[in-house]
Amino acid sequence: MPPVYGPTNPSPESQAAAGVRRFASFVELKPEHEAVYREMHADVWPEVVAACKRANIQNYHIWVQTIGDRKFIFRSFEYTGVDPAADFAAVGEDPTIREKWWPITDDCMTAVDGGSGGDVWRDAELVMFLP
């Protein structure tokens, strides 16, 4: 079904015009790596925080939810830049993220059926925003 935009569900273009775009996605959490994932996110490395800030990412949230016998990680954040593709790519160019953080955290996740591309995270669609 195509998106329906309105006063409480702004289009990506109107979000960008307002200076903030919201992103959300989810992935499955491997049960055998849950403790590591939680520990890493209880005290995120300063280099990781700095890379997110440089990429114009703010108000980053991560939740874990059990559905049936599986656990999922849900994330959402606000983006305040003008070129998300370039800014998000820059995060992946940071050596600490690419060589240290992602190898550990990526091992904690598995792609959810229906994802696209090489990214294990599956995008979620915004259907309501109430500031």
pTM: 0.89
pLDDT value, residue 109:
95
Average pLDDT, the chain: 93
Residue 106 φ/ψ region, left for φ over 0, alpha for ψ in the -120 to 50 degree band, beta for the rest: alpha
In the predicted model, is pLDDT for residue 73 greater than 90? Answer: yes
pLDDT value, residue 119:
77
| Structural domains of the chain, with CATH | 20-123 (3.30.70.100)
In the predicted model, is pLDDT for residue 115 greater than 80? Answer: no
CA atoms within 13 A on the CB side of 56: 18
